[in-house]
Structure 1
Amino acid sequence: MIRIYYRVSTEKQDFDMQYKAIRDLCTSKGIDYMSCQVYQDFGISGTTADRPDYKRLLSEVQPFDTLIVYEVSRLWRDLEEQSRAMKALLKNNVNIISVADGEIKSLTDTLFADIKGSVNQFEARRLKERINAGIRAKKEKVAKGEDSWNGRGPDKEKRKTDGYKVRWARYREAKNNV
């Protein structure tokens, strides 16, 4: 079975770029996209393994399956989780194909994936530091009366339920009715 995994970190992002690249990859390899099992986590960081579809993917993957992602960072931004999961996947002869990073199926491939995983983990930590610094600066301005604070905004829940998530739900429903 061919399994495809999508992930975006925030509700403001979408899967469009990943979707197009993976569709193009499937076409070039003669893979019927509509017969693939699709997993997607929306608005969840790759620094945690506690993602519903990621956990479902790992529980459902079978020996000799193929796993397609846009890039390895969509699966992992935590080097320990990457190492653990990749070891289990490769032990079961799961072929991992990344549009951006190529295939991961040998010890040499895992070396390059580990190097990139280290960079991905570093970037995730650096991003978190920048976000926290921005929040601290904003709070200081608010305390001085130089700005106002609305937290994350009143539309956060709306963004999570409207728009993009609804489009993907319709897509999955249409795919299942084919």
Structure 2
Amino acid sequence: MTTRSIATGHLVGYARVSTGAQDASLQIDELERAGCVRVYTDHGVSGAKTSRPELDRCLDRLEQGDTLVVWKLDRLGRSLSHLIITVEDLAARGVGFRSLTEGIDTSTAAGRLTLGIFSTLSSFERDLIRERTTAGLAAARSRGRVGGRPPVIDQRKGRSIRTLYTGGGYTVSEIALEVGVSRASVYNYLKAQGLSGAATLA
């Protein structure tokens, strides 16, 4: 990550509440007490939403030397990975970041270390998700499934296919017609079960 030196600039706050009934006053008061010259506030906007109008406006107007300040980390990021990406983008622009509740300040060595740890955890989280997804797809394929779709061949149909195939005298086409699935599904199932040595789509 390339980081420009951060000169002294303005403290700019960002606050967010998830519903229109919630009050952002606490966040705004804390941000102003911390010295923010302006606070951008999104009302009734969930953290999971990709577009948050006031946050987008705030990020667009930050200049080199400024520092973005939030009351808590979860006010800014939709997820840990989104938070890290946002803060790294700010750093590349020469903009600092501070979270009041967690005491994180990227203008300090301790703050940068904390963000570095978060970045490592975010990468670890992505690797775990990727690993679980790969394992899940492999398990699904072994059960005659592809991707996340419902199984074409359930246990009952699987037993019928195995019985007809191992009993001999049936082609894949005949088995498919008997069980009520496509020929390709039968072939893929037999292949996944290690029974497709002599199977054809005939």
Shorter-chain TM-score: which interval? Answer: 0.5 to 0.7
Report the equivalent of 1:16.
Answer: 25
Tell me, yes or no, if structure 1 residue 51 matches structure 2 residue 52: yes
The Cα shift of 1:110 comes to 0.6
Which residues of structure 2 form unaligned runs of 5+? 1-9, 124-202
SS at match of 1:109: helix
- Kept in 2: contact 1:63–1:92 (CA 8 A): yes
Is residue 110 of structure 2 the alignment partner of residue 109 of structure 1? no
The share of aligned pairs that are identical, in percent, is 28
Q: How many angstroms does 1:98 deviate by?
A: 1.4
Deviations 1:11-53 (A, max 9, x none): 1111121122223322xxxxxx5xx132110011112230101
8 Å Cα contact 1:8-1:41 kept in structure 2: yes
Structure number with greater CO (CA < 8 Å, separation at least 6) is 1
Pick the structure with more helix per residue. Answer: 1
Q: What residue identity is the alignment partner of 1:25?
A: A
CA contact (8 A) 2:80 2:118 kept: no
Give per-residue Cα distances to partners, 1:99-141, cap 9 Å, x unaligned: 10123315412135558989xxxxxxxxxxxxxxxxxxxxxxx
With structure 2 as the length reference, what TM-score do the two structures score?
0.48
Q: 2:75 — aligned with what? A: 74
Q: RMSD over aligned Cα, in angstroms?
A: 2.5
| 1:22–1:107 Cα change, 3 Å | closer
Matches within 5 A, 1:6-155: 6-26=15-35, 33=36, 36-105=37-106, 107-111=112-116, 113-114=118-119
Q: Who wins on radius of gyration, i.e. which is larger? A: 2
Letter in 2 for 1:75: L
Moved >3 Å (runs of 4+) = 111-118
Give the number of equivalent residue pairs. Answer: 110
The AA in structure 2 aligned to 1:108 is L
Partners of 2:31 and 2:120 lie apart in 1 by 23
